[in-house]
C-alpha cells in the first residue's frame, strides 16, 4: 500500500469558538497529506500539470469522530487506493500525535482532465507509467 503521512500542529486561527478545529479545515489537512504523498512518490500537482493534465477533486467526504484542539498535533495519513478506473482515490486517517487516537477518516476521488479541460476516460500514459514504477 502506497501511503504518506504529515504532521500538522493545530493553528490558533483554525480553532473555532467551541475551542475545537472548525470542520472545514480537515479538507485542507487531507490536501496536505496528498501533497506529502506527491512529494514522497513523485506525484506532485505541478509535475502532473506539467505533463498536460489536471486532477480536480470530484468527490470528498469526512467523518469526524473526536475533536482536535489548539495545541494538538494531528497526524494525517493518505492511503492511495488502487483502481483500474481513470480516477485517483485516497483514503485518509487523522490521529492525535499524543494519544494515537483516531479522530477522523475521509476519502477523496480525483479525475483526469486534459489540457482542454475535457474528462479523460482512460488513464493518461504518464500516470500508467507512474503506476507501473510503483508496482500498481
Helix (H) or strand (E) holding 41: helix 25-41
- The residues facing 119 across adjacent strands are 113
Strands 73-81 and 87-96 turn out to be antiparallel
46 binds its own copies per the rule CB under 8 A:
yes
The least CB distance from residue 135 to its own copies, in Å, is 27
Out of 13, 84, 100, 121, which residue is the one contacting its own copies (CB under 8 A)? 13
C-alpha 69: how far from chain center: 21
Each residue 58-87 as x (binds its own copies by CB under 8 A) or -, in order, gives xxxxxxxx-x--xx----------------
Task: Please give the Cα distance from 90 to 4 (Å, whole number).
Answer: 11
18 binds its own copies per the rule CB under 8 A:
yes
115 binds its own copies per the rule CB under 8 A:
no
Size of the site for its own copies (CB under 8 A): 35
134 binds its own copies per the rule CB under 8 A:
no
24 binds its own copies per the rule CB under 8 A:
yes
Contacts of 15 (CB under 8 A, 6+ apart): 21, 22, 69, 70
Amino acid at each position: 500500500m502506497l501511503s504518506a503521512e504529515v504532521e500538522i500542529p493545530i493553528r490558533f486561527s483554525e480553532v473555532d469558538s467551541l475551542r475545537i478545529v472548525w470542520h472545514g479545515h480537515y479538507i485542507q489537512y487531507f490536501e496536505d497529506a496528498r501533497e506529502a504523498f506527491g512529494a514522497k512518490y513523485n506525484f506532485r500537482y505541478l509535475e502532473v500539470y506539467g505533463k498536460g493534465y489536471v486532477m480536480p477533486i470530484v468527490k470528498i467526504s469526512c467523518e469526524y469522530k473526536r475533536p482536535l484542539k489548539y495545541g494538538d498535533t494531528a497526524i494525517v495519513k493518505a492511503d492511495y487506493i488502487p483502481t483500474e478506473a481513470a480516477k485517483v482515490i485516497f483514503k485518509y486517517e487523522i490521529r492525535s500525535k499524543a494519544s494515537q487516537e483516531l479522530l477522523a477518516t475521509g476519502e477523496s476521488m480525483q479525475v483526469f482532465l486534459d489540457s482542454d479541460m475535457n474528462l479523460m476516460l482512460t488513464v493518461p500514459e504518464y500516470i500508467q507509467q507512474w503506476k507501473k514504477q510503483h508496482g500498481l
